[in-house]
């Protein structure tokens, strides 16, 4: 799809969502926040004015291993100003050196067969635009804390899931497989 002429958003006039592109992800996140219904996810957008996109979605279901939107669809309008605000750089959180050392332990084995990682939970949070909101979230997620026995093994101020998805699309599949096997074979940290 061609990008819209003169558009700062990097989005075309019409498109499908869920492709992992950073611009699309921002549009998805803003639309989900504005729609405000648990489980609602966008799948399509259309530029309806110079500064607005209509984003359509619904509650998806897995049908034959593929995400589909069989139920009723609804839409929300997202403005270019909202996209720009959501794309604003997040604040850098200063981590004390002693805390940083805690954040880099050797990764434990992911599971016995080296496959998917059921022993890990990856969460990406888009921090709010206001400084007080960012501080509240960073303080609530004290990085040197133990969460019911879970240990923080890595942190990032970027959307590493999107980065990994884009790298997988562009890298040789053999390299991706080798990287996954290497990560799965790391020895557990000794307490």
Q: Which residues pair with 67 in a beta bridge?
A: 62
Are residues 41 and 33 in contact, defined by beta-carbon separation less than 8 angstroms? Answer: no
Q: What is the pLDDT of residue 8?
A: 59
Are residues 107 and 153 in contact, defined by beta-carbon separation less than 8 angstroms? Answer: yes
Prediction pTM value: 0.45
Q: How far apart are CA 110 and CA 115, in angstroms?
A: 7
At 84-116, the pLDDT tens digits run 888 765 555 554 554 444 444 444 444 444 455
Find the farthest-apart pair of alpha carbons in the chain and give their distance in angstroms, rounded. 58
Q: Which residues pair with 74 in a beta bridge?
A: 57
Rounded average pLDDT over 145-164: 73
Average pLDDT over the chain, rounded to whole?
Answer: 74
Q: How far apart are CA 53 and CA 83, in angstroms?
A: 10
- Whether the pLDDT of residue 138 is over 60: the answer is yes
First to last CA, the chain: 52
Residue 21: pLDDT band with limits 50, 70, 90:
confident
- Whether the pLDDT of residue 13 is over 50: the answer is yes
At 41-70, the pLDDT tens digits run 999 999 999 999 999 999 988 888 788 888
Rounded average pLDDT over 127-145: 73
Percent residues over pLDDT 70 in the chain: 70
Rounded average pLDDT over 21-43: 88
Inter-residue long-range contacts of 186-191, CB under 8 Å, 24+ positions, other chains counted: 186/106, 186/107, 186/108, 186/109, 187/106, 187/108, 187/109, 188/106, 188/107, 188/108, 188/109, 189/105, 189/106, 189/107, 189/108, 189/151
């Amino acid at each position: 799809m061609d990008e819209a002429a003169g558009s700062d958003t990097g989005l075309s006039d019409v498109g499908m969502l869920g492709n992992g592109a950073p611009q699309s992800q921002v549009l998805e996140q803003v639309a989900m926040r504005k729609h405000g219904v648990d489980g609602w996810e966008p799948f399509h957008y259309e530029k309806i004015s110079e500064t607005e996109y209509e984003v359509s979605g619904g509650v998806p279901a897995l049908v034959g291993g593929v995400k589909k939107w069989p139920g009723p669809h609804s839409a929300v309008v997202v403005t270019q100003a909202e996209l720009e605000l959501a794309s604003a750089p997040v604040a850098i959180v200063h981590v004390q050196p002693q805390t940083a050392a805690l954040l880099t332990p050797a990764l434990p084995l992911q599971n016995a067969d080296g496959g998917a990682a059921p022993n890990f939970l990856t969460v990406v949070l888009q921090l709010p635009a206001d400084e007080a909101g960012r501080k509240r979230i960073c303080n609530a997620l004290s990085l040197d804390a133990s969460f019911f026995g879970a240990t923080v093994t890595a942190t990032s101020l970027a959307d590493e899931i999107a980065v990994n998805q884009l790298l997988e699309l562009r890298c040789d599949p053999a390299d991706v497989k080798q990287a996954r096997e290497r990560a799965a074979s790391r020895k557990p940290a000794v307490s």
